[in-house]
Amino acid sequence: MEVVSDDESTTPPTAPPPADRGRAAVTSRRNGLGQNSRATEGGSATRPTQEFHAVPSAPPAATVATPPPGESLPDDRYFNRELSWQDFNARVLALAEDTSLPLLERAKFLAIFASNLDEFYMVRVAGLKRRDETGLSVRSADGLTPREQLEYIAKRNQDLVERHTGAFELHLRPALAEVGIRIVSWSDLDDPDKLRLSNYFSEQIFPVLTPLAVDPAHPFPYISGLSLNLAVTVRDPEGGTERFARVKVPNNVPRLIRVEQQRDNRQATFLPLEELIAAHLGELFTGMEVTEHHAFRVTRNADFEVEEDRDEDLLQALERELAQRRFGPPVRLEVAQDMSEHMLELLLRELEVDPHDVVEVPGLLDLTCLHQLSGVDRKELKYPPFVPATHPAFGERETPKSVFATLREGDVLVHHPYDSFSTSVQRFVEQAAADDKVLAIKQTLYRTSGDSPIVDALIDAAEAGKQVVALVEIKARFDEQANITWARTLERAGVHVVYGLVGLKTHCKVAMVVRQEGSMIRRYCHIGTGNYNPKTARLYEDMGLLTADPTIGADLTDLFNVLTGYSRQDTYRNILTSPHGIRRGILRCIAEEIEHAGAGRPAGIRVKCNSLVDEQIIDALYHASGAGVPVDVVVRGICSLKPGVRGLSDNIRVRSILGRFLEHSRVFHFRGGDSYWIGSADMMHRNLDRRIEALVRVKDPKLAGQLDEVLDSALDPRTRCWVLTSTGEWAPSPAEGSEVRDHQHVLVERHGASG
């Protein structure tokens, strides 16, 4: 979700832009509050999404054959992954600019854009800076050095920030005010409101604040990552030099303070907390004259790696690293646009921030606070209420069947959030915990909710005497501390907790129930694309296969032996796993499609994923295109593949769907081989080389038909989306004036989900 000038493409020119991201370059932008309507590096994605423009039709069949496997492909065949991510965040921003969406949903997308950007800087930009500072000369797949990538990112980010702030200050903020939801400044309040809020400040905020002076006796204070702060200059009115102080805006009280004393569902006025503090700085610096104050915010490197030692407790090693995370070096300094030169220079010097890492914000800092507006009770300003439907296989009957009886009749494919998670996957685990015939439950946990019924069920099962194994991935980024807490809670209940494999993250979503049925043992399994998290299962689009297939049960038994023991198995019957099998298996499927096309048989590849970055997979798709295999990709985020390039990717089309739900499932269809796969792995190096992932083949023709319907809907020419062009533009589709359908709304209706 990002912005640059119209003539800029996602493929950077050979020479990097000049390193002009210092103060002078920033200052030159102070001629408007993000009022430009320039496109993203990919073009139209920066415009409001209702401004659809025609998408060029697919080019004719290739006239220049792609080199066969083994021969060289063009050096410039990849888009830069970091700039592609910025394109993705620009598409999120475009949703916030879309006037056809409900107002409070648009505010939510502004908040999502901001939180996305925070994480991008903490991880991706931090990693690039570390490589640049250590002198590592590793170039990206498109040939850029870390320094060149950082320069492109900084340039585009300033434009995006201006556009992001402009979307709020110039459009959304006035639109919200028109319907009675106002975010105001202290000067906008009348005297009774000021008096009431002054009392609130004295009673609730003032005792929490700690102004920190900076002088020879008081060194510059540590500024924690993502904290909002006020930089303050004070002066003795009787003479003397100016002094600098820092006041941290507390993060344990609401950022947006409700102004009204009597709450009205139709009216809601909010005052940013930093405005309230700024209005009362005189109480913090009694007897001094406050001459200047400005908001600022620091983002720190959170991209750490645990130094794993086979002889060391991984839990302790991770806790040690977590304690160090908050002391990571700064990677971004956000400042109010009206901050004075001397104050900015002081912050740069004391924080040791590169001027290239300064981002001037022409408005309210840290718009993640707009998530708070979701609490306003204005249903007409939000998406219609959504209640997932119970999957027909688990629907109410006169004599309800257990999940296990249902799975003995055949496999079930669940599609969240349209199919209820609580009445399918959650019920599967809960019934297993309560069933006297169940002997064991084995499950991976990558992320789960704060009050997880899945964890509660595992605890109940262990306390009932069942063998319960939980592989808790304590290295799940930004959920490390929560997962450590879960791990210890599970251990205290008697669950066998495993923390994963040294050097690898366990990202696969698998669960297995072992049940005694007469004289035989039967295994019931779930393999999914999303986490065992009932909260995100209502927001993320994901799929899962529930099955009693003996061969899949045998596969998961072998996989859990790898995860919990010393087994080194990497080949299975009906699943593919990384780090050894998924890339190999996908490449084999692509090669088979090339063979089908060469023999004149039907062939085709359809991929739905979050990111497509892996060069080996991309090159194989280029070869498939050259062999005449049609390739369709639906990607939510990053895409390094260049579609529609004559002689390289004539037969490849790429589109992106964003909307109410976060498209998260990974689905692969190979037409000639008549094979369908779903699972946890994206086509990225980290997933294929540094994680334990699992894909399962969906063999049941009825379930394959359901996957067909989802892919057909996503790829329907009428479906609202963005289409990636050969030059890197993300063009809204279909053309303005054409019939438009919403893929997610169609699936809501198809599954019978209700309001």
The pLDDT of residue 49: 32
Packing angle, helices 146-166 and 126-133, rounded to 10:
150
Q: Reply yes or no on whether the pLDDT at 465 is more than 70.
A: yes
Question: What is the distance in angstroms between the CA of the first residue and the CA of the last residue of the chain?
Answer: 30
Q: Reply yes or no on whether the pLDDT at 16 is more than 90.
A: no
Tokens of 92: 């999120």
The least confident of 382-396, 506-520, 542-556 is 382-396
Which residues share a beta bridge with 540? 662
Query: Tens digits of per-residue pLDDT, 429-449?
Result: 999 999 999 999 999 998 876
Strands 505-506 and 691-697: parallel
Rounded alpha-carbon distances, angstroms, from residue 181 to 191, 253, 263, 328, 378 = 20, 20, 12, 38, 10
Cβ atoms of 726 and 43 within 8 Å: the answer is: no
Q: Reply yes or no on whether the pLDDT at 370 is more than 90.
A: yes
Tokens of 253: 């009280």
Q: Reply yes or no on whether the pLDDT at 456 is more than 80.
A: yes
The least confident of 35-44, 158-167, 222-231, 328-337 is 35-44
Q: Reply yes or no on whether the pLDDT at 38 is more than 60.
A: no
Cβ atoms of 640 and 518 within 8 Å: the answer is: no
Cβ atoms of 485 and 301 within 8 Å: the answer is: no
Rounded alpha-carbon distances, angstroms, from residue 589 to 380, 476, 592, 621 = 48, 30, 5, 11
Among 3.30.565.10, 3.40.190.80, 3.40.50.2300, 3.30.870.10, what is the CATH number of 577-751?
A: 3.30.870.10
DSSP string of 429-493, one letter each residue: HHHHHH-TTEEEEEEEESS--TT-HHHHHHHHHHHTT-EEEEEE-TTSTT-HHHHHHHHHHHHHT
**Nearest residue to 493 via CA among 450, 452, 446, 461:** 461
Cβ atoms of 161 and 361 within 8 Å: the answer is: yes
Buried/exposed code over 189-219 (b: 16+ C-beta within 10 A; e: otherwise): beeebbeebeebbeeebeeebebbebeeeee
The pLDDT of residue 50: 30
How far is residue 271's CA from residue 726's CA, in Å, rounded to a whole number? 46
Confidence band of 37 (pLDDT split at 50, 70, 90): very low
Q: Reply yes or no on whether the pLDDT at 262 is more than 80.
A: no
How far is residue 660's CA from residue 658's CA, in Å, rounded to a whole number? 7
The pLDDT of residue 476: 56
Q: Reply yes or no on whether the pLDDT at 317 is more than 80.
A: no
The Cβ of residue 326 has, within 10 Å, a number of other Cβ atoms equal to 13
Query: Tens digits of per-residue pLDDT, 723-744?
Result: 999 999 999 999 888 899 999 9
The model's pTM is 0.87
Question: Using alpha carbons only, what angle is made at residue 643 by residues 639 and 649, rounded to the nearest 5 degrees?
Answer: 130
Computed from CA positions of residues 58, 59, 65, 70, in that sequence, does the dihedral angle turn out positive or negative?
Answer: negative
Please, how many CA atoms are within 13 Å of residue 651, restricted to the half-sphere of its CB? 24
Q: Reply yes or no on whether the pLDDT at 72 is more than 60.
A: yes
Cβ atoms of 526 and 425 within 8 Å: the answer is: yes
User: Which residues does 274 contact at the CB level (< 8 Å), separation at least 6?
Assistant: 228, 230, 249, 295, 365
How far is residue 81's CA from residue 541's CA, in Å, rounded to a whole number? 23
Percent of the chain scoring above 90 in pLDDT: 70
The pLDDT of residue 320: 53
How far is residue 596's CA from residue 589's CA, in Å, rounded to a whole number? 11
Q: Reply yes or no on whether the pLDDT at 479 is more than 80.
A: no
- Residue type for position 602: P
Q: Reply yes or no on whether the pLDDT at 206 is more than 50.
A: yes
What's the mean pLDDT when you consider all of the chain?
86
Cβ atoms of 362 and 166 within 8 Å: the answer is: yes
Secondary structure class of 275 (helix, strand, coil): helix
Q: What is the DSSP letter of 682?
A: -
Percent of the chain scoring above 70 in pLDDT: 85
How far is residue 543's CA from residue 711's CA, in Å, rounded to a whole number? 13
Query: Tens digits of per-residue pLDDT, 161-173?
Result: 999 999 999 999 9
Q: Does domain 394-569 have CATH number 3.30.870.10?
A: yes
Buried/exposed code over 652-666 (b: 16+ C-beta within 10 A; e: otherwise): bbbbbbbbbbbbbbb
Tokens of 344: 């900015």
Burial class of residue 388, CB neighbours in 10 A (0-12, 13-18, 19+): buried
Which residues share a beta bridge with 4? none
The Cβ of residue 50 has, within 10 Å, a number of other Cβ atoms equal to 15
Q: Which one is catalytic: 415, 507, 526, 664?
A: 507
How far is residue 449's CA from residue 471's CA, in Å, rounded to a whole number? 16
Cβ atoms of 504 and 559 within 8 Å: the answer is: no
The least confident of 31-35, 436-440, 534-538, 690-694 is 31-35
The pLDDT of residue 260: 87
Burial class of residue 31, CB neighbours in 10 A (0-12, 13-18, 19+): exposed
Packing angle, helices 453-463 and 480-492, rounded to 10:
20
Which residues share a beta bridge with 242? 235
Q: Phi first, then psi: what are they for 733, rounded to 5°?
A: -145, 150
**In the chain, where the domains are located:** 180-377, 394-569, 577-751
Q: Reply yes or no on whether the pLDDT at 626 is more than 50.
A: yes
Q: Reply yes or no on whether the pLDDT at 486 is more than 90.
A: no
507 counts as catalytic: yes
How far is residue 418's CA from residue 386's CA, in Å, rounded to a whole number? 9
The pLDDT of residue 17: 36
Tokens of 491: 């251990």
How far is residue 575's CA from residue 527's CA, in Å, rounded to a whole number? 10
Strands 652-656 and 631-635: parallel
Report the pLDDT averaged over residues 248-259: 94
DSSP string of 160-199, one letter each residue: HHHHHHHIIIIIIHHHHHHTTEEE--GGGS-HHHHHHHHH
**Nearest residue to 424 via CA among 447, 440, 407:** 407
Q: How many residues does the chain have?
A: 755
The Cβ of residue 178 has, within 10 Å, a number of other Cβ atoms equal to 9
Fold of 180-377: polyphosphate kinase like (3.30.1840)
**Nearest residue to 209 via CA among 236, 246, 234:** 246
Q: Reply yes or no on whether the pLDDT at 621 is more than 90.
A: yes
Q: Reply yes or no on whether the pLDDT at 239 is more than 80.
A: no
Please, how many CA atoms are within 13 Å of residue 439, restricted to the half-sphere of its CB? 10
Secondary structure class of 37 (helix, strand, coil): coil
139 versus 55: which is more confidently predicted?
Answer: 139
The pLDDT of residue 474: 75
How far is residue 700's CA from residue 393's CA, in Å, rounded to a whole number? 15
Which residues share a beta bridge with 692? 506
Packing angle, helices 425-434 and 453-463, rounded to 10:
20
Strands 691-697 and 575-578: antiparallel
Computed from CA positions of residues 249, 255, 256, 261, in that sequence, does the dihedral angle turn out positive or negative?
Answer: negative
Query: Tens digits of per-residue pLDDT, 642-659?
Result: 999 999 999 999 999 999
The Cβ of residue 414 has, within 10 Å, a number of other Cβ atoms equal to 25
Confidence band of 751 (pLDDT split at 50, 70, 90): confident
Which helix or strand (DSSP H or E) is residue 297 part of? strand 289-300
Cβ atoms of 751 and 415 within 8 Å: the answer is: yes
**Nearest residue to 652 via CA among 728, 743, 726, 732:** 726
Rounded alpha-carbon distances, angstroms, from residue 229 to 107, 226, 285, 298 = 23, 9, 16, 9
How far is residue 422's CA from residue 352's CA, in Å, rounded to a whole number? 49
DSSP string of 378-444, one letter each residue: -GGGSPPP-BPBPPGGG---SSPPPHHHHHHH--EEEEETTB-STTTHHHHHHHHHH-TTEEEEEEE
Q: Find the DSSP H helices in 507-577.
A: 550-564
Confidence band of 55 (pLDDT split at 50, 70, 90): very low
20 versus 634: which is more confidently predicted?
Answer: 634
Query: Tens digits of per-residue pLDDT, 121-162?
Result: 999 999 999 888 888 778 999 999 999 999 999 999 989 999
Q: Phi first, then psi: what are they for 318, rounded to 5°?
A: -70, -40
Domain 394-569 identical in fold to domain 577-751: yes
697 versus 499: which is more confidently predicted?
Answer: 697
